[in-house]
Structure 1
Amino acid sequence: MIFKLRCICFVACTMFMSAAMPASSDAPLELRIAVVSDARADYFVRLLEESLKLIKQPYHLQFVKDIPARRMWWMLGRGDINLFYGMQSPDKDNDPQLVPVRNALTNGLIGQRVLLIRRTDAPAFDQVRSIADLKRTGLIAGFGAGWGDTKVWMAADLPLYQHNAPWNTIYAMVAAGNRHVDYLPRGVIEVREEARAHPELVVEPHLLLEYRADFGFYLSPSAARYRPVIERALKAAEASGLKARLLDEAFGADIRALNLNHRVRLRLAD
């Protein structure tokens, strides 16, 4: 499922799809998008491309890959790239160096969280029936430094650890059991893929933590004129059922395997 990145520029096919859906512009959108080599990247790129094709909007797409996320945001503000995807937040939405594209790209799925844990800790989570129970376990959630999710855990007064080093080192820290972090709350669209990549950890089978969160596209100020076109394309993808189909193709099997309807649901403040 991992997106196979190509740092090349290519012209999108503008196939005839519907005479009732005119193109927004004869000029192609010139998009330089930053992507991370994880299991979500191919979904976000495919959603963007298929949505633009749906409204018959020509585009050129160039990839910049696997630069640290903080640098990608800096590059976006400078205009070195002009499109990136990331967790939506008021801070980003109000940043004058970023132009938010108003669409929730996973329909809220990233705000449905399942835990990656050490197998030996499973009995502790089996006893959890409330946020208060989770707090009483004393177990510590792990996040990247500055992630918006940390505010949700802080508001619930749940113990957490913020990881400043490269994010992928935190899995080994959880597995070690002596590094001040005990579990990783991961979105239902990513947790099983990560568990396959890190067999030293397991997916906790009992809990589903929910709060309002999603990914969004962000443009550089130099590409602000593209926002109405991309928003219209994403809206068309929702109305046509294209977005739901792409979500299911990318993540449906893994989500169904999580048995969400049989989990204890814990609602966290947004």
Structure 2
Amino acid sequence: MPIWLKTLRTSLACLLALATWPVQAETLSVVYAREIAETDSRLEYPVRLLELALKKSGTHYDIRSYPRPMPQGAALGRLATGAGINLAWSMTSKDREAQLLPIRIPIDKGLFGYRIAFVREQNKGIISSVKGLGDLRAFSAGQGHDWPDTDILQGNGLRVTTSTAYEGLFAMLQAGRFDYFPRSILEIWDETALASKQQLVVEDKVLLYYPAAIYFFLNKKDVALAQAIENGLYKAMADGSFDALFYERFGDVIKRANLRGRVTIALNNPLLPAETPLSRKALWLDVNNLPK
């Protein structure tokens, strides 16, 4: 056999071997921001949902938290510039969607906009007689200075006292700096231990509601990671694993909040982007049709 033919056959064999050699799938690395300690139970649900989505997407992934907690505003600023983190979850707003890449599937099913309040134990009934927005304007709420909720409350004519320190808000309420501290029903029961140290209790008559959504946000350049998470979330919705995880974590707290037994005060959300998929009912929880 001519040498040139042997060489050609050898080259073709090498090419064939390379073509059939298993290709190592790319590992998607996720470093998420957190405002609270890694041991805080409120991290469990979003992290587990993120893991579920990436698993359903069929990608190889590595998930870890940024070593230190940071305020929400600082975290989103880092995310926008790609400084150390590439994912966070937060309530959506026009500004946030302009700066970041949102995955428009509300991981909270919209329940972050259902708010009940901490009040001082010695003044438990302070807002219990409130029947509407006009009545509530006589009282002052407490919120974080960089939380979208602050702008929402103020945009509805409510008085708000702010703080840069999340835990400091509990002490400020006890000191009488404001009258009530609205919290999402998805987080308030996890905060009762902290609240009780300041002699604070959950008010049981009033519900604030505004349309809102918690999304996973990424840096605008992380399109591949965003697509993997979005595809995985839709697959989890289709096979029921999204709902299973959601109700495992929040079924009891939804019942405990007694939403239908409260006076509901509806607020406008001027920060809500026009792209919010409010018409896609499957993405949102119907509080009048909860599973038993």
Partner of 2:58: 56
1:87 to 87, 91, 108: 91
1:197 to 186, 194, 197: 194
Contact 2:72 2:147 in 1 (8 A): no
* 2:207 partner letter: L
Matched, 1:78 2:81: yes
Secondary structure in structure 2 of the residue aligned to 1:127: coil
Which segments of structure 1 move beyond 6 Å, counting only runs of 4 or more? none
Contact 2:103 2:216 in 1 (8 A): yes
Partner of 2:116: 114
Relative to the length of structure 2, the TM-score reads 0.77
What is the rounded CA distance, in whole Å, between the counterparts of 1:105 and 1:191 in structure 2? 17
Cα distance, 1:55 vs structure 2? 3.1
Secondary structure in structure 1 of the residue aligned to 2:125: helix
Matched, 1:161 2:158: no
Relative to the length of structure 1, the TM-score reads 0.83
The equivalences for 1:175-254 within 5 A come to: 175-177=174-176, 179=177, 181-199=178-196, 200-254=199-253
Partner of 2:280: none
* 2:76 partner letter: W
Check 1:156–1:67 CA distance in 2 against 1; reply closer, same or farther (3 A cut).
closer
Partner of 2:267: 268
Cα distance, 1:162 vs structure 2? 1.9
What is the rounded CA distance, in whole Å, between the counterparts of 1:254 and 1:110 in structure 2? 12
Mean Cα deviation higher: 85-94 or 249-258? 249-258
* 1:46 partner letter: R
Mean Cα deviation higher: 51-60 or 196-205? 51-60
Cα distance, 1:192 vs structure 2? 1.4
What is the rounded CA distance, in whole Å, between the counterparts of 2:209 and 2:107 in structure 1? 17
- Unaligned 5+ runs, structure 1: 1-24
Contact 2:120 2:174 in 1 (8 A): yes
- Unaligned 5+ runs, structure 2: 1-23, 270-292
Cα distance, 1:44 vs structure 2? 0.5
Larger radius of gyration: 2
